[in-house]
């Protein structure tokens, strides 16, 4: 999922670019949709056991874009993409959304924590960025066998702008 760093309601998407050498870049895919984004107003507590439901913790969020909905326990367990969010460095799912006083302000609770290998990244702070990992806005890019274990650089560049110098290193290790 690609989103603006700041909740820019006029953001018009981005191009995912790839490089073999961090010098020469080629477009891999485009995104023209803005995911639901926000920021934490409170700290989501760390939990000692991420393998069970976290029914005690809450985090208050102010949304910059999009909207949030409730999901039952059964819905969360049946579909790993239901209410899937990236908060700080952790990927989690939440079941309950409670509207609070204040425009676009919500309390999230009833969590499945440390999803997709992020159980070591459950430390949070006020201001943590929330990006909903919405299934209809996530794309898969196919790569050939020659890409396995090859170092590649990726960056997302907002459509109509020049790229920043920051990049991320990614090694393809699975099919």
CB atoms within 10 A of CB 40: 20
pLDDT tens digit at each of 175 positions of the chain = 555 555 444 566 777 888 888 888 888 876 667 788 999 999 999 998 888 999 999 999 999 988 999 999 999 999 999 999 999 999 999 999 999 998 999 999 999 999 999 999 999 999 999 999 987 766 677 778 887 888 888 887 877 777 766 556 565 544 4
- Find the Cα–Cα–Cα–Cα dihedral 65, 70, 76, 78, rounded to 10°: -110
Whole-model pTM?
0.75
Q: How far is CA 149 from CA 17, 101, 103, 172, in A?
A: 18, 49, 46, 5
Which residues is 91 bridged to in the sheet? 86
């Amino acid at each position: 999922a690609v989103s603006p760093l700041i909740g820019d309601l006029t953001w018009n998407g981005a191009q995912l670019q790839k490089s073999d050498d961090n010098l020469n870049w080629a477009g891999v895919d485009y995104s023209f949709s803005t995911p639901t984004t926000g920021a934490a107003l409170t700290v989501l507590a760390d939990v000692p056991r991420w393998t069970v439901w976290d029914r005690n913790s809450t985090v208050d969020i102010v949304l910059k874009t999009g909207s949030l909905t409730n999901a039952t326990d059964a819905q969360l367990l049946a579909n790993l993409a239901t209410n899937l969010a990236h908060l700080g460095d952790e990927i989690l799912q939440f079941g309950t959304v409670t509207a609070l006083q204040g425009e676009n302000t919500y309390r999230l609770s009833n969590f499945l924590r440390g999803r997709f290998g992020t159980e070591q990244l459950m430390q949070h702070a006020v201001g943590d960025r929330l990006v909903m990992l919405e299934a209809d806005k996530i794309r898969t890019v196919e790569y050939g066998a020659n890409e396995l274990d090859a170092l590649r650089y990726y960056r997302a560049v907002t459509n109509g702008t020049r790229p920043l110098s920051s990049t991320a290193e990614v090694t393809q290790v699975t099919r």
